Structure 1
């Protein structure tokens, strides 16, 4: 289970990094690059979410998964990454509209 927890943390972190890089690109007017980075962020989130789903399914199937601080951290990390990516997506869309008006 520890490997899966670290996978969630790692891919969540990758997603956040791509998302924050995307907002920088959007602010510079590089909307296409920003959208590509957001797509990469979503791919990372999908991997992390799939790993999370495997753990949930294992628990549903009777496997005794011990809740620990590392698991709580992984869940917090993933949910924060999802929220930030969603918010950054909105910021990129605003930047795109501003670029179109130039």
Structure 2
């Protein structure tokens, strides 16, 4: 790609934030669905959609980092730093949500009403 302009970097940052935010929304939906004992297949679909969104965000970040590494005059912006922070925070939320839901399912399978 060559030299990445600040505008391109900021546009990429916005895409990272949007995809990461979509991931967070899917995670929230999955948790609420679990709380309401909704269909496990629908919950798993939300988790799959969340993973797809975080993967899109991660790919954009990786592309931008690779392009800036190839350039000795590396630029960055506060917005891109914020996007990276958002991405990593929501990635942690994805991991925690998966763990919580696994534990919930395990406990739920042992409880008889």
Query: Normalised by the size of structure 2, how large is the TM-score?
Result: 0.82
2:97 aligned with 1:95: no
DSSP-derived class of the 2:96 partner: helix
C-alpha contact 2:68 2:75 (8 A) present in aligned 1: no
- For 2:43 and 2:52, locate their aligned partners in 1 and report how far apart those are by CA, in whole Å: 14
Q: Unaligned regions of 5+ residues in structure 2, if any?
A: 1-8
Q: Unaligned regions of 5+ residues in structure 1, if any?
A: none
C-alpha contact 1:19 1:37 (8 A) present in aligned 2: yes
- For 1:6 and 1:93, locate their aligned partners in 2 and report how far apart those are by CA, in whole Å: 32
Alignment size in residue pairs = 102
Post-superposition offset of 1:60? 1.7
Q: Give the 4+ runs in structure 1 shifted more than 3 A.
A: none
- Give 1:43's aligned residue: 52
Deviates more, 1:69-78 or 1:24-33: 24-33
Query: How is 1:1-102 mapped onto 2 (pairs within 5 angstroms)?
Result: 1-30=9-38, 31-62=40-71, 64-101=73-110, 102=112
Residues 8-28 of structure 1 show CA distances to partners (whole Å, capped at 9, x for unaligned) of: 000000001101111111122
Larger Rg: 2
- For 1:21 and 1:27, locate their aligned partners in 2 and report how far apart those are by CA, in whole Å: 10
Query: Normalised by the size of structure 1, how large is the TM-score?
Result: 0.90
